[in-house]
Structure 1
């Protein structure tokens, strides 16, 4: 026997007819029947998507964890939310964001990540030659240094044949020590 059921939104409690998709809330409660599913109407989905219009996101890192403070276009501010950047989205712990908001957060995250790492070495290669050691390196910000000869002076400071920014010199010193340990 064919029967029909009324679909009731679990959020606004109104009866609705789905348009092209039937939305439900996954709350990991173990619901395994339509009767137990928490359905959502299109109006509630639209309200949810409208709420998550991101105006600004400020990322921070503390103790190897990343956090974001999100300012929404409606003026709401959500502070210090635990977040994880994946391939093309940012997941925010404890918040259910629309895919578009996750992607917007990822583009903002990428800009922040590039800015914080722009002076950090992305690659560094050493070349040992007779009586001469050189390095070639590149930062995440795109600075490139090719075949720069160097040596350590009596005080243990790195001296290069061409002047380099101090942040590069410090990283080369660390990288060279690791290179020597690997080399044996």
Structure 2
């Protein structure tokens, strides 16, 4: 049986005629097409226009990533849960795909900046009376065949100066290396 379905926007309650696409909001409780929440092109345009991102600040604590977003109209969304996924950033707010892609570009810069001082790889070489490490950070810093030892106080000493943020990671990596070699 052929039936009609009046298209009424679930945001503004106005009847509308769809353009090239028909927008709707997912409703997992829907049992029939009449339960679907359609959205008119005017409301979609307002929604997309609203989500012009001015700034976004990402943070991560205890493996939970959040983002605080300031829109060009001055609206601020603080500490939204977010997940980078397939060149977009999905948040706990409904955000247009263009804005999700913009967030991803901001996320990529933030992620590169926070990782630049982290070790990308690290190898150790044990020789007679000499242990060396070679490593590289995500930021591109390379340290090759740097001899090191632990002094009587348990502090690491290197034959050439190495930044403190690298040394801390070398200590952790060397402890893991020693534990693996004991097994």
Count of residues in correspondence between the two structures: 182
For 1:87 and 1:131, the matched residues in 2 are separated by 49
RMSD: 1.6
Shift, 1:157, TM fit: 1.6
Residue equivalent to 2:155: 157
TM-score (norm 1): 0.91
**CA distance change for structure 1 residues 80 and 15 in 2, over 3 Å: closer, same or farther?**
same
Structure 2 unmatched ranges of 5 or more: none
Shift, 1:27, TM fit: 3.0
Structure 1 unmatched ranges of 5 or more: none
Counterpart mapping for 1:116-135 below 5 A: 116-135=114-133
Residue equivalent to 1:7: 7
For 2:79 and 2:36, the matched residues in 1 are separated by 31
Counterpart mapping for 1:20-35 below 5 A: 20-28=20-28, 30-35=29-34
Residue equivalent to 1:170: 168
Counterpart mapping for 1:108-147 below 5 A: 108-147=106-145
Shift, 1:133, TM fit: 1.7
Q: Which runs of 4+ in 1 moved over 6 A?
A: none
Contact 2:5–2:34 (CA under 8 A) maintained in structure 1:
no
For 2:166 and 2:2, the matched residues in 1 are separated by 73
For 2:27 and 2:131, the matched residues in 1 are separated by 59
